[in-house]
Structure 1
Amino acid sequence: MDFTYHDKDDLQLWQLISTQSDAGAFAEVHRRFSTSLFALAYRKTGDETVAEDLVQDLFVALWTGRDTIHPEKALNSYLFSALKNRIISYYRKQLHRDSVSLSVLQPETLVSYSANAVEEYINFRQANESYQVQLQNLPEKTREVFELSRSGLTNKEIGGLLGLAEKTIEFHISKSLKLLRMGMGYSSYLLLVWFSK
């Protein structure tokens, strides 16, 4: 382990990556986040190969786009949000693939399945949009803690990462859930439950 990089915070590492194409700093970012990112992808997809591919694709995109990517929030929040978007895209592709493969079914079965699939997709998209809007309305620190909690990190790990007490982490998560429940309709709240798995 290179302690020169180990001692730097995420922002300092990203500055080295984006301005100097520092491969060592990039390796440290990968070391810090790849395990948690994989845990999230695996939990959502249930497929180890798919999870590995999604995380690898994320880091490839991060490196190739280092000159143009400017995380508006903390780097960890950017990474987990970007991975969640890839997971959603994966399911959209799966939905399309499943719909195409149903062409061998009887017409009446296909119509029923297609209608259900389209309705579920529309509901999911609307729920996701509502979730994202309400998420952005959360106070910045509360949102950061909540997003990290959805990534598979424990409260202790989040506290260590952000320099906060576990009780403070619990407070922010509880506050997030309360505000999201207040701001979201029933269908949108189902998406929150999905993200909490």
Structure 2
Amino acid sequence: MTKVLGRSPDRRKRQVIELRLMQARDMFEMPSTDLFSEYRNLLTGVDFCLSELRGRAFTRPVRLEIRLPPEMIDDGVAERLARTLRRYCDHRIRYNRREGQAQRVGGVAALRIGIPVSALGLVVAAEATRIRPTGSAGNLVTDHLGWVLAWIGLWFPLDQFLFNPLAYRRESRVLRLLAGADIDVRPYRLGTDTEAR
């Protein structure tokens, strides 16, 4: 399906991703897959592009070099792909925005359980200081259990509130780049093309 950073002279100015598809719609939907065929893909074209772009710097514009069998290419295929790609990216950006908000709301809601658990943990840790002798096994177990409860009670809500939405924001940045991608569609023939699959 892919050849990353193809031989295009444009690759210094742009991030070039080459996709090899059987049909234009394979860019957006998973084709029925013959797992043993060397010409079939196990991802949609968009999913592959997203995975490529997530691992790169976001500074350069994107160029998609899409290779299709000659009989699948007509005059308007590149424009249809570009229009559909923009629409897909816009929908997914809106979805990511809503999911990021849902993660933050979930983090705040998790504090309703997390704060009492943390308070219980701090009470247990404080009570552990009263256990005599100070270095006994009961003292150490109770003290550690209290601190672990205090940590767990706050860790999940804060993680969900602060860090989980970051993945959605990063994907949205990649989607904005992909929505503005230049698309070049060219033919290839099955069995005669020696490029990487």
Q: State the TM-score, normalizing by the size of structure 2.
A: 0.29
TM-score, length of structure 1 as denominator length = 0.29
> Higher relative CO (CA 8 A, sep ≥ 6), structure 1 or 2?
2
- Structure with greater proportional strand content: 2
| Higher normalized helix content (fraction of residues) | 1
